[in-house]
Structure 1
Amino acid sequence: MAFWERFDRYVCEGDSIACEADGFRVIARIVRDDCPESPDQRQDGFWPSLYINDPGFIGPGNNFRERLEKAQAEAEAVMDAWCKDEWFYCGIMLAIECEGVELDENAASLWGIEANYPGSDNAYLSEVAGELLPDALAAGRAALTRLMASAPAQASRG
């Protein structure tokens, strides 16, 4: 049981993939994360450092100046791309349906994921959708159970 489709190498908010599993249709959708923090605010150690107590410490060893310079250039490129809105943080939200009826719009989700990150092929987005699938199916089964339990009560009042 898995998503056979994959998210594209370049994604936009609202892009989705779907699969059928255990009698349910599951749709994984990309939703832009509404947290306004920049990458360096969200990630300890984003900026490289030569200081051992800093989160961005590049480690001891030879060629530390070259490694620092390379890491600094990479961090600046990532930050520049984020400022130009070339990549963004998103959530992967899974909705679940049964026989065309949406049971749960947010059956499972994970947030704070990089979409279109420089040098990435976005494969991680599809992996996350697959990892969330069991939780979405459990939520779908629970929603279906609640609906089935309330159906006799609704019919007897009708």
Structure 2
Amino acid sequence: MTFRERFDRYVCEGDSIACEVDGFRVIARIVRDDCPDAPDQRQDGFWPSLYINDPGFIGPGNNFRERLAKAQAEAEAVMDAWRKDEWFYCGIVLAIECEGVELEPHAASLWGIEANYPGSDNAYLNEVADELLPEALEAGRAALKRLLSSAPSQAARA
């Protein structure tokens, strides 16, 4: 059970994919993460280091100066692209519907995901949507059960 549709290589906030499973329509959409922290604030070890106890330690071995310089240049390029809003952090949010009725607008989600990250094809966005699918279906089934169990009592009141 997976989404057949795929997110594009370049995505924008609000882009979505959908699938049908067991009578449910599940929509996975991209929502911009509202945490304003920069990549180097979110990720331990973002900046490379020669110090073994630092999270960004590049490891021992030959050519450490060249490896450090390369890693430093890559980190700076990622930060520069983030500052230019060429990539952003997002959440993948799954909503679930049945027969055109939205049962859960936020049935499952995962946040802090890189969208349009330099050198990425955004395939991870699809993997996340696929991994969240069972959780969204479970939420949809529970919502439908609640809706159906309250229907007879509401009809009796009318």
TM-score, normalised with respect to structure 2: 0.99
Deviation sequence 1:109-154 (CA, Å, 0-9, x none): 0000000000000000011000000000000000000001100110
Which whole-Å CA distance do the structure 1 matches of 2:2 and 2:51 have between them? 44
Who is 1:3 aligned against?
Answer: 3
Matched, 1:146 2:146: yes
Who is 1:44 aligned against?
Answer: 44
Matches within 5 A, 1:65-144: 65-144=65-144
Code of the aligned partner of 2:66? E
Instruction: Using the TM superposition, give the Cα deviation of residue 2 of structure 1 relative to its aligned residue in structure 2, in angstroms.
Output: 1.1
Who is 2:56 aligned against?
Answer: 56
Structure 2 unaligned spans of 5+: none
Code of the aligned partner of 2:33? D
- Same amino acid, percent of matched pairs: 87
Structure 1 unaligned spans of 5+: none
Which whole-Å CA distance do the structure 2 matches of 1:2 and 1:115 have between them? 20
Code of the aligned partner of 2:51? Y
Cα-Cα RMSD = 0.4
Segments ≥4 residues shifted beyond 4 Å = none
Secondary structure of the 1:149 match is helix
Which whole-Å CA distance do the structure 1 matches of 2:62 and 2:153 have between them? 74
Matched, 1:14 2:14: yes
TM-score, normalised with respect to structure 1: 0.99
Which whole-Å CA distance do the structure 1 matches of 2:157 and 2:100 have between them? 25
